[in-house]
Amino acid sequence: MSLNLEQYVSEFSAQNINGEHLLQLDGSKLKALGVTSSQDRAVIKKKLKEMKTSLEKARKAQEKMEKQREKLRKKEQEQLQRKSKRTDKSPSDATEGTTEQ
| Gap between the Cα atoms of 26 and 41, Å rounded | 9
pLDDT at 19: 86
CB of 44 closer than 8 Å to CB of 5:
yes
The full set of domain ranges for the chain reads 7-85
pLDDT at 92: 52
pLDDT of 15-63, one tens digit each?
A: 999 888 999 999 999 999 999 999 999 999 999 999 999 999 999 999 9
Q: Which residues contact 31 (CB under 8 A, 6 or more apart)?
A: 41
pLDDT at 85: 82
pLDDT band at 96 (very low <50, low <70, confident <90, very high): low
pLDDT at 90: 60
Query: Helix (H, G, I), strand (E, B), or coil: what is residue 15?
Result: coil
CATH architecture of 7-85: Orthogonal Bundle (1.10)
Q: Which residues contact 101 (CB under 8 A, 6 or more apart)?
A: none
